[in-house]
Amino acid sequence: MSLFYKAYQSTLKSQDGIRKFFPRVIKTGGTVETAELAEEVAERSSLTPGDTQNAINNLIPVMRRHLLNGCAVKLNGLGTFIVVSKSNGKGVDTEEEVSASQITGLRIRFTPSYTRNSIEGTTRAMFGGVEFRKWGDKNAKAETTNPGGSNPGGGNNPGGGDEFIDPSA
């Protein structure tokens, strides 16, 4: 299993005034939907694909209810989900002026689970030993790195991991 990456140029200039290039992981496969996930989970368990899909389908509204009641939802081995609000430049001068009308949207913030060991340090649970290959370079050798190391709450992927939630749904 390998993740592919391409070079992209930042829209922001660095301290030396240059717009630098960075690797960005790209999607090379299709989208895996609930039914396919249910089939694979069923193969690894004593559940039928229908039972598994039913459990996944019921997990979504249960998570939504807890998230919209202000709770964090932690799926062990996967990560934690919380709701965060956006105000998009609608700041006010005093604490007393703050109101819900400033909220322009809600997002889900996902923080992957991580483990700690004495050899590798901190590792995101799902991403240990990932191989990377440069997209379009047929001779590229796989590079193995620890992308989740030493920064369990961070990351540098602009816009990654967040999804919009429609609170009226």
In a domain, 59, yes or no: yes
In a domain, 43, yes or no: yes
In a domain, 55, yes or no: yes
In a domain, 160, yes or no: no
Number of H helices, E strands in the chain: 2, 10
For residue 110, the model assigns a pLDDT of 93
SS percent in the chain: helix, strand, coil, step 5? 20, 30, 50
For residue 120, the model assigns a pLDDT of 55
In a domain, 38, yes or no: yes
For residue 154, the model assigns a pLDDT of 40
pLDDT at 123 over 60: no
- Rounded to two decimals, the pTM is 0.61
Using pLDDT thresholds of 50, 70 and 90, give the confidence band for residue 147. low
pLDDT at 51 over 60: yes
Helical H runs in 45-107? 49-68
In a domain, 159, yes or no: no
In a domain, 165, yes or no: no
Tell me the mean pLDDT in the region 53-60: 94
Positions of E strands within 18-129: 21-26, 73-75, 79-86, 105-112, 114-117, 121-124
Using pLDDT thresholds of 50, 70 and 90, give the confidence band for residue 122. low
pLDDT at 24 over 80: yes
User: Residue 120 gets which letter from DSSP?
Assistant: T
Question: What is the sign, positive or negative, of the torsion defined by CA atoms of 31, 72, 159, 116?
Answer: negative
For residue 59, the model assigns a pLDDT of 95
Number of domains in the chain: 1
CATH code, domain with 36? 4.10.520.10
Tell me the mean pLDDT in the region 66-75: 92
Domain that holds residue 82: 2-12+19-93+100-154
The label of the residue with tokens 């989740």 reads: 148
In a domain, 168, yes or no: no
Strand-pairing partners, residue 22, are 8
